[in-house]
Amino acid sequence: MADLPAAGVKRLLGKHGGELRSSTSAVNLAVAAAEEYIARLAQEAAAVAQKERRKTIMDGDIQKARELLGG
């Protein structure tokens, strides 16, 4: 079961997809892709925080993780 709300993803697809409609299966694939990216982002950010000997992920950790992931 997805943790990310499909309605929000559908809204983003419409907003950034030239106002085209999205099928349910396309929205579900986008949800899965977004969740996979966020999972990788969280893992990278956690690794950065752990290297700094912190137990809290900070905004700088997310920024560094995005750089490492190419985003």
Tens of pLDDT, residue by residue over 52-69, are 999 999 999 999 999 999
Residue 1 placed within a domain: no
Residue 36 placed within a domain: yes
For the whole model, what pTM was predicted?
0.86
CA gap 30, 25 in Å, rounded: 9
Domain that holds residue 24: 6-69
Residue 42 placed within a domain: yes
CA gap 5, 54 in Å, rounded: 30
- Spans of the chain below 50 pLDDT: none
Residue 32 placed within a domain: yes
Residue 13 placed within a domain: yes
| Contact of 35 with 3, CB cutoff 8 Å | yes
Q: Find, among 71, 17, 16, the residue nearest to 40 by Cα.
A: 71
Lookup result for tokens 């499909």: 6
Q: Domain of 58: which CATH number?
A: 1.10.20.10
Q: How many domains does the chain have?
A: 1
Lookup result for tokens 């997809």: 17
